[in-house]
């Protein structure tokens, strides 16, 4: 399971990152938040699918 978070940069952009190694730069903290949520949801869905088919 992934746990994604965000960090706001000094220049106003934001980085979304996850302990699994995933990372994305975004122009705004809101966009980074959204990307972090999406990453977490997608990762959880992939895990559930793996468990169901293996
Ligand atoms: Zn992740």
**Ligand 1 center–CA 53 separation, angstroms:** 21
Domain that holds residue 44: 4-52
**Alpha-helical regions (H) of the chain:** 29-53
pTM: 0.82
> Tens of pLDDT along the chain (54 residues)?
899 999 999 999 999 999 999 999 999 999 999 999 999 999 888 888 888 887
**Ligand 1 center–CA 11 separation, angstroms:** 25
> What Cα–Cα distance (Å) separates residue 35 from each residue in 30, 45, 48, 52?
9, 15, 20, 26
**Ligand 1 center–CA 10 separation, angstroms:** 24
Partnered with residue 12 across adjacent β-strands are none
**Ligand 1 center–CA 52 separation, angstroms:** 20
Total number of domains in the chain: 1
């Amino acid at each position: 399971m992934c746990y994604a978070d965000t960090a706001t940069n000094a220049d106003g952009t934001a980085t979304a990152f996850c302990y699994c190694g995933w990372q994305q730069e975004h122009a705004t903290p809101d966009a980074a938040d959204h990307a972090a949520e999406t990453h977490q949801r997608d990762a959880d869905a992939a895990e559930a699918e793996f468990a169901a088919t293996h």
